Amino acid sequence: MPENQKPRSADVLVNTAIETPGVMDQLKAHPEETLKKLAEQSTQQVPAYVPDTWIYRMVVGSLGFVCIAVVVGSIGLAFVSDSSEAKIPDILTALGSAAIGALAGILAPSPSSK
């Protein structure tokens, strides 16, 4: 099994059956009972999935920074503008909209978690 691939309970069951002395004899004599015991041991040994929350924190922080920078930049351009109606560049509007949409998509609960 490659190092980057998480162990599955089936892999753990097979490795336990092959590597543990006497298990093959027990499988031949009492296959059903032995497989149930191995399955119970295997599912207990597989670690639970732990998501990498640092990536999400970095993405949310970056998108939040973009939103704040767009708001501050737009306000700054409005104050610096000579005319009564400030022209905000379209790129600022696009960046702000995209960052807010991405934040909404990341922070919204997934439908499968209900």
pTM of the model: 0.53
Spans of the chain, pLDDT less than 70: 1-9, 44-50, 113-114
Report how many domains make up the chain: 2
Q: Are residues 72 and 21 in the same domain?
A: no
Q: Are residues 72 and 99 in the same domain?
A: yes
Chain segment 68-91, per-residue pLDDT in tens: 999 999 999 988 888 778 888 999
Long-range contacts of 3-8 (CB under 8 A, 24+ apart): 6/47, 6/49, 7/46, 7/47, 8/46
- For residue 68, the enclosing domain spans 53-113
- Which pLDDT belongs to residue 104? 93
- Which pLDDT belongs to residue 88? 86
